[in-house]
């Protein structure tokens, strides 16, 4: 089985680092972006199998990132898991309507649960 | 003379009753304003002044047959009523605005706390699951204590955020199908350690199967967990807690009965208030914010169910929740 590539979009450096380390030990290949513009760029050039996306980001927020990726033939089919602490239904609804696959509230999930969700989404795709 | 005295006494009592009902002092304390600024006081003042002015106008108009005077004095009264009314409305608006700001502050602050809490949570998990090798038992114990403190902090943050959401009317519940029995069993499992610590036996009395109910699984779990952990925490040695679930027609009822400290009679009507902790509970356990039951009641009622209890001090408490199999009004639209 080919190693799956995950793009982590997270502006908090500690969260980015822990996610990256945990996913590496789980056998995923990871790249990271700390802002929305870089995220779109890396998604286009790196063709990840899945994107973990925060909503509040510098330069370009998560909504804009989803819009950009979904309107581009090359990145349209990449599944996006929103990983956010914006727990309000309004934010989530907005992101899901734009085409994100699912969402997780960071503070409520352990890393292993995040990994389980990634595997679940990857197996469907 | 005596009769007059008693009449004055009676009048005083009646006045005290009226003022007691309005409870201006309490209102002033609640709103954080002086007695002269409370809406109740201003209303009474306005009423009295209107009556006095009306009487004055009546007497003046009997002495002077001048419609102009009457019109001028009537206008004065109207202007006065508008002014006082305006002061009252502004005062109420102010109080409402301060309340909203307080609520917003709590939700922003607890939201900001979520990032560092997530960092702690993930770092500890990474350490324990990937790099625990070579750590001494002492080091592991310390990390586990840190993890325990983190969980407490995370729970408090979530509670504060929930309270802010309830106060702002922004509590949104998901609608998903879930198995209540499995949820109850999972909660019992997760509180096993607490039960052992408190030396409490947890008996289970649940049917073999139930149809799935529709509602917010995570939040319903929070409620059940709250009731069960309360029952365990406030039960002394040789305690017994019984969890029972039954279905009646289109409703499922879950009850959690304990033989613990109970809630004193005189405090039973305050149980579901924000920050409430009964006197004996506070003596018994220093941990606890008094937010759990307030949140629980709001979640269950918003799910179309009911939450109630029976309790006797030193005998024990029984808390029950009932939920409809199908929620009556649509809330969330998510099936995740």
Q: How far is CA B168 from CA A19, B11, B237, in A?
A: 34, 43, 41
Question: CB within 8 A of A2, min separation 6: which ones?
Answer: none
Length of chain B: 336
Least confident piece of the model among B21-35, B128-142, B229-243 = B21-35
Q: Which of A87, A96, A111 sits opposite B122 (nearest CB)?
A: A111
Distance from CA of B8 to the nearest CA of A (A): 59
Q: What is the arithmetic mean of pLDDT over B1-26? A: 62
pLDDT band at residue A8 under the 50/70/90 scheme? very high
Q: From residue A53, give the alpha-carbon distance in Å to each of A22, A97, A103, A119, B126.
A: 16, 15, 9, 16, 20
- Residue B336 confidence class, pLDDT cut points 50, 70, 90: very low
B107 in Cβ contact with B144 (< 8 Å): no
Give the 3-state secondary structure of A7-54: EEECCCHHHHHHHHHHHHHCCCEEEEECCHHHHHHHHHHHCCCEEEEC
Give mean pLDDT, residues B224-243.
Answer: 85
Sign of the CA dihedral B209, B214, B217, B223?
negative
Contacts of A107 in chain B (CB under 8 A): 114, 117-118, 121, 154, 157-158
What confidence tens digit (pLDDT) does each residue in B245-290 have?
888 888 888 899 988 888 888 888 888 888 777 776 666 665 677 8
**Cα separation, B74 vs A34, whole angstroms:** 70
Residue B295 in this model has a pLDDT that exceeds 80: yes
Is residue B218 within 8 angstroms of chain A, CB to CB? yes
**Dist CA B163 CA B167 (whole Å):** 6
Dmax over CA atoms of chain A, in Å, equals 38
Cα separation, A90 vs A85, whole angstroms: 13
Using the Cβ of B64 and the Cβ atoms of chain A, whether some distance falls under 8 Å is answered with no
Instruction: Select the highest-mean-pLDDT range: A84-88, B292-296, B310-314.
Output: B292-296
Position B324 scores a pLDDT of 86
pLDDT value of position A1? 59
CA distance B99 to B232: 35
Asked if B318 and B240 touch (Cβ cutoff 8 Å), the reply is: no
Nearest CA in chain A to B172: A89
Could you give the count of Cα atoms lying within 13 Å of B146 in the half-sphere of its Cβ?
16
Q: For residue B170, what is the nearest residue in chain A, using CA coordinates?
A: A88
pLDDT band of residue B332 (cuts 50, 70, 90) is: very low
A70 burial (CB, 10 Å; 0-12 / 13-18 / 19+) is middle
* Cα–Cα distance, B205 to B33 (Å, whole number): 52
How many Å lie between the alpha carbon of B250 and the closest alpha carbon of chain A?
Answer: 28
CB contact under 8 A, B122 and A22: yes
Taking an 8 Å cut-off on Cβ atoms, the answer to whether A87 and B161 are in contact is yes
Residue B113 above 80 pLDDT? yes
| pLDDT beyond 50 at B159 | yes
Q: What is the largest CA-CA distance in chain B?
A: 104
CB spacing of B125 vs A12 below 8 angstroms: no
N-to-C CA span, chain A:
15
- A107 to B332: CB separation less than 8 angstroms, yes or no: no
Distance between CA atoms of A18 and B213, rounded to whole angstroms? 37
Average pLDDT, chain B: 80
Read off the pLDDT of each residue in B54-67 and give the average, rounded to a whole number: 76
* Cα–Cα distance, A56 to B111 (Å, whole number): 13
Average pLDDT over residues A1-18: 86
Side-chain half-sphere exposure of A36, counting CA atoms within 13 A? 16
The confidence score (pLDDT) of residue B13 equals 61
Q: Rounded to whole angstroms, how far apart are CA atoms B104 and A115?
A: 33
Q: Which of B308 and A88 is assigned the larger pLDDT?
A: B308
Which residues of chain B neighbour A21 with C-beta distances below 8 Å? 126, 130
Query: Is residue B5 over pLDDT 70?
Result: no
CA of A11: which chain B residue's CA is closest? Answer: B115
Q: For A18, what's the count of Cα atoms within 13 Å in the CB-facing half-sphere?
A: 24
Which among B69, B64, B162 is positioned nearest to B111, based on CA atoms? B162
Within 8 A by CB and 6+ apart from B277, the residues are B288, B290
Which of B115, B123, B336 lies nearest to residue A85, judging by beta carbons?
A: B115
- Residue B223's pLDDT is 92
C-alpha to C-alpha distance for B43 and B69, rounded to whole angstroms = 27
| A to B CB pairs, distance under 8 Å | 57
* pLDDT reading at B329 higher than 60: no
Say whether B174 sits in a helix, a strand or coil: coil
pLDDT at B155: 83
Q: How confident is the model at residue A124 (pLDDT cuts 50, 70, 90)?
A: low
Tokens standing for residue A25: 């030990």
Question: Is some CB atom of chain A closer than 8 A to the CB atom of B336?
Answer: yes
The confidence band for B335, taking pLDDT boundaries of 50, 70 and 90, is very low
Provide, rounded to the nearest whole percent, the portion of chain B with pLDDT above 70.
Answer: 85
Contact B122 A18 (CB under 8 A): yes
More confident residue, A47 or B25: A47
- Best residue of B104, B113, B122, B164 to probe chain A, by most A CBs closer than 10 Å: B122
Q: What is the dihedral of CA A37, A43, A44, A46, to 10 degrees?
A: 130
Q: What is the mean pLDDT of residues B168-189?
A: 83
- Nearest residue, CB atoms, B115 vs list A12, A87, A96: A12
The yes-or-no verdict on residue B333 having pLDDT over 50 is no
**Assigned token pair, B99:** 């309340």
Q: What is the mean pLDDT of residues B190-213?
A: 83
């Amino acid at each position: 089985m080919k190693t799956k590539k995950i793009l982590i979009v997270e502006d908090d450096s500690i969260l980015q680092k822990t996610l990256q380390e945990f996913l590496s030990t789980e056998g995923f290949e990871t790249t990271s972006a700390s802002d929305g513009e870089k995220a779109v760029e890396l998604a286009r050039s790196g063709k990840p199998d899945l994107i973990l996306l925060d909503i509040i980001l510098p330069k370009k927020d998560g909504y804009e990132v989803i819009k950009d990726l979904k309107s581009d033939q090359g990145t349209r089919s990449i599944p996006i898991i929103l990983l956010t602490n914006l727990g309000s239904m309004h934010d989530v609804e907005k992101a899901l309507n734009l085409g994100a696959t699912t969402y997780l509230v960071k503070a409520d999930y352990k890393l292993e649960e995040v990994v389980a969700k990634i595997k679940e989404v990857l197996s469907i795709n | 003379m005596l009769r007059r005295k008693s009449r004055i006494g009676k009048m005083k009592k009646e006045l005290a009753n009226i003022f007691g009902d309005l409870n201006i002092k309490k209102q002033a304390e609640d709103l954080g304003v002086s007695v002269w600024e409370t809406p109740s006081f201003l209303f009474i003042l306005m009423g009295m002044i209107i009556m006095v002015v009306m009487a004055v106008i009546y007497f003046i108009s009997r002495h002077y047959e001048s419609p102009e005077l009457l019109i001028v004095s009537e206008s004065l009264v109207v202007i006065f009523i508008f002014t006082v009314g305006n002061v009252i409305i502004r005062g109420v608006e102010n109080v409402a605005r301060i309340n909203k700001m307080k609520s917003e502050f709590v939700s922003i602050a607890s939201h900001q706390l979520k990032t560092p809490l997530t960092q702690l949570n993930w770092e500890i998990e990474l350490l324990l699951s990937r790099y625990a090798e070579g750590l001494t038992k002492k080091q592991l114990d310390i990390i586990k204590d840190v993890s325990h403190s983190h969980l407490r902090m995370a729970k408090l943050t979530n509670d504060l955020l929930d309270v802010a959401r309830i106060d702002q009317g922004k509590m949104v519940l998901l609608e998903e199908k879930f198995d209540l029995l499995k949820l109850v069993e999972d909660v019992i499992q997760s509180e096993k350690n607490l039960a052992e610590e408190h030396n409490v036996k947890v008996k289970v009395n649940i049917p073999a199967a139930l149809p799935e109910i529709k509602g917010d699984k995570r939040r319903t779990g929070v409620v059940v967990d709250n009731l069960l952990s309360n029952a365990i925490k406030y039960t002394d040695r040789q305690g017994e807690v019984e969890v029972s679930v039954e279905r009646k027609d289109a409703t499922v009822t879950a009850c959690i009965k304990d033989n613990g400290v109970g809630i004193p009679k005189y405090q039973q009507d305050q149980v579901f208030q924000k920050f409430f902790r009964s006197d004996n509970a506070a003596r018994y356990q220093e941990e606890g914010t008094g937010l759990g039951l307030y949140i629980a009641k709001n979640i269950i009622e918003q799910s179309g169910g009911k939450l109630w209890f029976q309790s006797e001090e030193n005998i024990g408490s029984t808390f029950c929740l009932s939920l409809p199999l199908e929620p009556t009004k649509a809330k969330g639209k998510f099936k995740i």
